């Protein structure tokens, strides 16, 4: 088995963990490759050609942001993804730092399952297209200003938010920015789109959960431009009157799971909740 590492670009702890992954992989006779930029950070790993993953599995070493970047690259190559957690909560990372050898052994032996996660597809009124696993966000560009965003569902104008931003999240992304903004946690086995306003200044500010076939349109109203991002990647400004349409994507991210775990158990473990 060949494993393509994708590292957090700057965290020292990620490079240290990647070195441990490479050392454990050598003992298990697993091939490890890294991008040329990371060759000096991971002793013993093979440098892969630019733009290529050339592997059976993509292994991200970092926080959830690194897993998202690895997933973006893995989708294009049709490969499954697994993460080693070098971050904090790490909802998307399957392997903890003290589980590296056990995790790699499970991969080698085929002791894992693959779960398919829905994605988002977005197109702006100016022709920009993007995809995301976690979320598409329209947010303020100037810190002290709020923006106005009109949300429509299947061409039915629903609500205008005066807020710091509006998030459209997948169930996978419900544990990320959506959760920080007060949105619900949603079992990733479900297919749904969640709209959550960030710090709303309107009478109605509750999150709304839609079915996965819903077409959502977010239009910038008022006189202030808003910034568009997908999974934290900046896609520029939406000017007043411009919009972005968000639907369930056709791409599927394949996440490797080493052991079945109920969603409730995952929440308890990640957020250190006590038994009732």
If one counts every other C-beta atom within 10 angstroms of the C-beta of residue 18, the result is 29
Sign of dihedral through CA atoms 262, 259, 38, 118? negative
User: Nearest 5 degrees, angle CA 184-CA 99-CA 172?
Assistant: 20
Q: What are phi and psi of 119, to 5 degrees?
A: -120, 175
Q: Among candidates 133, 113, 112, 111, which has minimal Cα distance to 122?
A: 133
Q: How far apart are the C-alpha atoms of 153 and 210, rounded to whole Å?
A: 9
Q: Please state, in angstroms and as integers, the Cα–Cα distance from residue 81 to each residue in 72, 115, 195, 213, 231, following that order.
A: 10, 10, 27, 26, 16
Asked if residues 247 and 120 have their Cβ atoms less than 8 Å apart, the reply is yes
Q: How far apart are the C-alpha atoms of 177 and 135, rounded to whole Å?
A: 8
Q: Which residues are catalytic?
A: 64
């Amino acid at each position: 088995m060949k494993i393509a590492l994708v590292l957090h670009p700057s965290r020292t702890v990620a490079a240290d963990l990647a070195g441990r992954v490479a050392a454990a992989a050598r003992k298990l006779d697993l091939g490890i490759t890294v991008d040329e930029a990371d060759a000096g950070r991971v002793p013993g790993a093979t440098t892969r050609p630019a733009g290529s993953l050339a592997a059976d599995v993509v292994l991200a070493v970092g926080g959830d942001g690194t897993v998202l970047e690895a997933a973006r690259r893995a989708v294009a190559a049709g490969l499954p993804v697994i993460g080693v957690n070098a971050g904090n909560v790490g909802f998307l990372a399957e392997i903890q730092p003290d589980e590296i050898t056990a995790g790699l052994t499970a991969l080698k032996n085929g002791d894992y399952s693959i779960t398919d996660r829905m994605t988002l597809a977005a197109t702006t009124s100016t022709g920009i297209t993007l995809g995301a696993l976690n979320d598409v966000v329209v947010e303020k560009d100037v810190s002290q200003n709020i923006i106005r965003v009109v949300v429509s569902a299947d061409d039915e104008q629903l609500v205008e938010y005066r807020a710091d931003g509006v998030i459209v999240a997948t169930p996978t992304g419900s544990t990320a920015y959506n959760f920080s903004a007060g949105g619900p946690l949603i079992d990733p086995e479900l297919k749904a789109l969640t709209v959550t306003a960030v710090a709303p200044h309107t009478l109605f500010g509750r999150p709304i959960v839609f079915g996965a076939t819903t077409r959502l349109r977010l239009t910038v109203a008022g006189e202030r431009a808003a910034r568009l991002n997908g999974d934290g990647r900046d896609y520029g400004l939406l000017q007043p009157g411009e919009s972005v349409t968000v639907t369930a994507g056709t791409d599927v991210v394949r996440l490797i799971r080493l052991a079945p775990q109920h969603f409730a158990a995952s929440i308890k473990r990640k957020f250190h909740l006590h038994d009732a």
